[in-house]
Structure 1
């Protein structure tokens, strides 16, 4: 008997609808393309303010000497470097990223900056992290959650590897909360950002995707609910730059 057609579930890749099985490869292509210019583009796109957002997240993490920290979708190592300074020689930071090109840029960059000994690099999918249960004191994901195919699975995976008493930090673009900011933000995102991508990174399409992916990501309240559904408690969020970015923090007990 012929089997009935079972259409593969779809998900979003920016504003495009694609099969779920295709998204990881499409996202990987974006970051393979932009890896070499990723840090420069971050500075240009945010006028350097991304460094303040990451510093706020680092302070809010409460990471101390001797901690074991996992930085998911750690890319070129901005957060991993900050955590490495805090955990010291007795601690460890694991920088995990699904994209090999980003990992290679991160490894080279941190080595050039003198970081060695307490940072490990692992190619891994956020939805299926290859680490033991209850292993890390802190887990962080900065500007990476919106790129995963199943946010709920990624949150569950991060919850699993976090020690009881530990916390997850999610730093991500979100929804502006200041009246009138949305219009300016949209004009910047869909005009200036792709132009910068074309001129600097020679890749307009990838930066158009990044702008679209921000709009498809859950807003502050929705992400808080998703974290609670994954098992996190005392979940709270902090709006930064008028809600353009939000830091969510939740605990595992």
Structure 2
């Protein structure tokens, strides 16, 4: 039985199974969100965007096709290795810990698709907000696309089975001690695997506290990728615009 490390995201995200399980993510939805958010922020062609925790680069690659100068960073060496094949003069990928400031300034820093709240140390959530702020240029905007935890907990699917590439993933979800857990069990090549995703249930109020402590100004809040008004009960997402 393969257990995840203390930093579960470092082990799980670097396995091929993570990308197998999530290979059918909605790319059209991701593109629509990028269209909507770049238009809302009035970002001009050629401006620099940092895609923080970029994974295999799907958002970065699309943003680059829109004419932006994009840097995608992620802790997963395997994800960055994969994404690097798409590099060009205005698109690059680097291994980087998002708790730490990057070495450049940007017109926008995007943290997308619930790529926040993984850390074992609570202070690292605040450190990430501070790092984002430090990477913004004078007119830059930060964007965090997180789940609406109130909605997610209320609509949690406790048990699910998915078969992908002839692998049967048995998924269990639950809320406990301020975290939302997803246990993923499967068998492949006569070996049993168990990975546990764990994301802190950070509410809008929690984010506001982070922002206050990081001296960040919250500008707007949206509840979905169409940038409609946030509603604590019905919105699937919590999208925060700040600087």
User: TM-score, normalized by length of structure 1?
Assistant: 0.69
What SS class does the counterpart of residue 222 from structure 1 fall into?
helix
Q: In 2, distance between residues paired with 1:62 and 1:51?
A: 16
> For the residues of structure 2 that align with 1:75 and 1:23, how far apart are their CA atoms?
20
Q: Alignment partner of 2:10: what SS?
A: helix
Which residues of 2 match residues 57-72 of structure 1 at below 5 A?
Answer: 57-72=37-52
Q: Is the 8 A contact 1:228 1:235 kept in 2?
A: no
Aligned equivalents of 1:196, 1:78: Cα separation in 2:
23
Q: In structure 1, which of residues 211, 228, 248 is the aligned counterpart of residue 240 of structure 2?
A: 248
Provide the rounded CA distance (Å) in 1 between the counterparts of 2:94 and 2:117: 20
More helix by share: 1
Output one character per residue of 1:187-245: Cα deviation in whole Å (capped at 9) or x when no partner. 2xx312xx22787766557953799634x231123213312321221432111283221
1:230 aligned onto 2:214:
yes
3-state DSSP of counterpart to 2:89: coil
Superimposed CA distance per residue, residues 54-89 of structure 1 (whole angstroms, 9 cap, x where no aligned partner): 544444343221211111001121221232133x2x
Tell me which of 186, 190, 206 is aligned to 2:156.
186
Q: Say whether residues 1:40 and 2:11 are aligned partners.
A: no
Distance 2:21 2:36 in 1: 21
Distance (whole Å) between structure 2 residues aligned to residue 219 and residue 127 of structure 1: 20
Partners of 1:200 and 1:164 lie apart in 2 by: 50
Give the aligned length.
208
Quote the residue 1:208 is aligned against.
183
Q: Under a length normalisation based on structure 2, what TM-score does the superposition of the two structures give?
A: 0.71
Partner of 2:81: helix, strand, or coil? helix
| Structure 2 equivalent of residue 124 of structure 1 | 96
Change (3 A) 1:182 1:158: closer
Query: Could you say which structure has the higher strand fraction?
Result: 2
CA distance in 2, matches of 1:130, 1:57: 22
State how far apart, in whole Å, the 1-side matches of 2:41 and 2:13 are: 26
User: Is the contact between residue 196 and residue 204 of structure 1 (CA under 8 Å) also seen in structure 2?
Assistant: yes
- Gaps of at least 5 residues in structure 1 are 1-17
